[in-house]
Structure 1
């Protein structure tokens, strides 16, 4: 497998790379190509995105696309950055906890709104202008706190990772519903019944006590409620870390 030139990829993401010389000159732009690929992904998922399909929709040959974008991996990076868009922070609160909550929820909504983004393996750190803008928004939310620079990058990684994990879980359950007949809100009750049967023999005493308490039958019945519940755990941990940093000052 050929090694990718990450500097070249970054130049593409920031539109600093001129089209190559291979093939006849045309009137396409990188934005047109990427926008068309995003439209295909919105309609058909990542499985529906090929260089050939993008070219056909644009009315050009497949080979002509390679003057602008070296290959499919680069196209995917460009699609991810374009589809993520810029964070709209105008309505975000100013207090750090509420602002981090808004940051994480906005990420979650983008991922669940375009679930094909969840199909893309993360191969590089954020490098595109939109993803860098999201990093800036998350880090800016922690300005004025006692967190160290290393702490802030750690918080950014954990909070973003949480949004990604929760979005994936939401999408997995959504896709399973036609086959299982179980909606997101019904999974707690169904899972409770399954676990109650398999832990009845006493081999899992700690889990048995959780099941007996009806934890899986609580009233958090929507993905958004589950998301908020877990995010509070993270925010409480961040707050505790802030108190630790204040004590060290």
Structure 2
């Protein structure tokens, strides 16, 4: 059975409040050096290429010496995710709430697409580190001028962030499959259309058949980013509808 992880301990590590442990000889390493090296490995080889042993070898130390600074591989992965996501650059984001939330979600998507190994990191805790808390702040502050309640704003943030993760993961799955399928992301639509057209021929799936006949999947010009924005606007339309509901409730309040 894996050892239970303490959220406060994880937060202390992410915020660099942990002092080096006593295991192994005292050295000149820092947590940042170890994490930077692990991120370099992941950029080059993906998450599968990151082991404590490989990180130690690159740093010219023994594997055991790393445990003075980072308790284990799970903690290292948390630190890698935190470092690799960086902080949002909001300077050029629009000021209007919808455009700003749109920019926020797209920025998250771009970070994930730039470092696909981030999609292989299991998300075991809510955002705790300084970089990821900064992302939360950027998303929440974009909705501050709206009639959304604090609970609404947190809910929208969760949905928007989850959407960016899902879309990036879908695009990456298709990219990784390309060598075996011979199809790019933009070619999959037409191929899928042909498969479904045969499946629905017997008339057992009338609702799906209507979609296929309309040629929804046949357009092979859609890029991952176009798909991303199409779905994101669906979500934001729903957020606008919720805002209208909140405004109506505030207007009818005694």
Match of 1:56 in 2: 57
CA distance in 1, matches of 2:57, 2:9: 26
Match of 1:78 in 2: 79
Residue 219 (structure 1) shift = 6.1
CA distance in 2, matches of 1:31, 1:80: 13
Residue 22 (structure 1) shift = 1.3
CA distance in 1, matches of 2:27, 2:208: 63
Match of 2:140 in 1: 139
| SS in structure 2 of the partner of residue 194 of structure 1 | helix
CA distance in 1, matches of 2:184, 2:137: 36
Post-superposition, which runs of at least 4 consecutive aligned residues in structure 1 deviate over 4 A? none
CA distance in 1, matches of 2:7, 2:247: 39
CA distance in 1, matches of 2:6, 2:71: 10
Match of 1:173 in 2: 174
CA distance in 2, matches of 1:104, 1:120: 19
| SS in structure 2 of the partner of residue 199 of structure 1 | helix
Residue 248 (structure 1) shift = 0.4
TM-score when normalising by structure 2: 0.97
Residue 118 (str. 1) matches residue 119 (str. 2): yes
CA distance in 1, matches of 2:190, 2:37: 42
CA distance in 2, matches of 1:76, 1:217: 40
Contact 2:82-2:129 within 8 A present in 1 as well:
yes
Match of 2:67 in 1: 66
Residue 107 (str. 1) matches residue 108 (str. 2): yes
Contact 1:220-1:226 within 8 A present in 2 as well:
no
| SS in structure 2 of the partner of residue 221 of structure 1 | coil
CA distance in 2, matches of 1:2, 1:219: 48
Match of 1:98 in 2: 99
Q: How many residues align?
A: 249
Contact 2:188-2:220 within 8 A present in 1 as well:
no
Contact 1:184-1:223 within 8 A present in 2 as well:
yes
Match of 2:18 in 1: 17
| SS in structure 1 of the partner of residue 201 of structure 2 | coil
Match of 1:221 in 2: 222
Match of 2:45 in 1: 44
CA distance in 2, matches of 1:138, 1:48: 32
| SS in structure 1 of the partner of residue 217 of structure 2 | helix
User: What's the RMSD between the two structures over aligned residues?
Assistant: 0.8
TM-score when normalising by structure 1: 0.99
Match of 2:201 in 1: 200
Residue 230 (structure 1) shift = 0.5
CA distance in 1, matches of 2:210, 2:158: 33
Residue 231 (str. 1) matches residue 219 (str. 2): no
